[in-house]
Structure 1
């Protein structure tokens, strides 16, 4: 695995730990389909939360949260619907939302973490 991939996975691990600490149940990680990947699928109360994680060493290329543009959000909505179609027992009767977690710093374990909840899908 390339160093960049390992760095991203470490960020996703930190994001999952952050979600668990805030009372979320992590249902799935790195769920893939032909259309792409959902980094984290979590549940809290009656909501399914599809989480995009962006990990960067610096904000030299902009805030990692800015990387989740309208096109990316629309793709995540399609992926969320595909996940729900494959997991109807977990999706039935639950609201869906998109969260974005940005992690910025040289070490994902101690880097700055920003969690934006309920990002508009498009």
Structure 2
């Protein structure tokens, strides 16, 4: 008797994971090294934390199946930005990182009806 592996989670969660994988691969091709992925603390989560050896990049990844609720990058509201900044401080303390230059990026990913993903990178978005 054989079993067939089935995707785990709701479709929007699977799409989000696909988007985060694509974003990480894209940023790694630019020369960044992933330090943390989906790092969580009590206040929330950082999608990706990366470095090129000189710069720390905190990247918020937004993946959507369409633009019915606006472009994915529009989901990064001022409240979300404030939370990401606070969580970044917790990440720095947790890993004992002192002062370093930090850039906050957004990677917005749209999925076509056929399932193809289109990525747009906004370096220094906030």
Q: Say if 2:120 is the partner of 1:114.
A: yes
Partner of 2:101: 95
C-alpha distance in structure 2 between counterparts of 1:76 and 1:69, whole Å: 11
Compute the TM-score of the two structures, normalised by the length of structure 2: 0.87
What RMSD over aligned residues (CA atoms) do the two structures have, in Å?
Answer: 1.7
For the pair shown, which has the larger CA radius of gyration, 1 or 2?
A: 2
**How much has 1:9 moved relative to structure 2?**
0.6
- Larger helix proportion of the pair: 1
C-alpha distance in structure 2 between counterparts of 1:61 and 1:37, whole Å: 22
**How much has 1:69 moved relative to structure 2?**
1.1
Partner of 1:41: 49
SS at match of 2:123: strand
1:3-62 per-residue CA deviation (whole Å, 9 max, x = no partner) reads: 211110110000000000010011110000110010000002411111100000111211
**Aligned counterparts, 1:65-84, within 5 A:** 65-84=73-92
Q: Say if 2:86 is the partner of 1:52.
A: no
In the alignment, structure 2 segments of 5+ residues that lack a partner are: 1-8
In the alignment, structure 1 segments of 5+ residues that lack a partner are: none
Find the partner of 1:7 among 2, 15, 20: 15
**How much has 1:94 moved relative to structure 2?**
1.6
- Larger strand proportion of the pair: 1
Compute the TM-score of the two structures, normalised by the length of structure 1: 0.90
The runs of at least 4 consecutive aligned structure 1 residues that moved more than 4 Å come to none
Instruction: Report the more deviating stretch, 93-102 or 14-23.
Output: 93-102
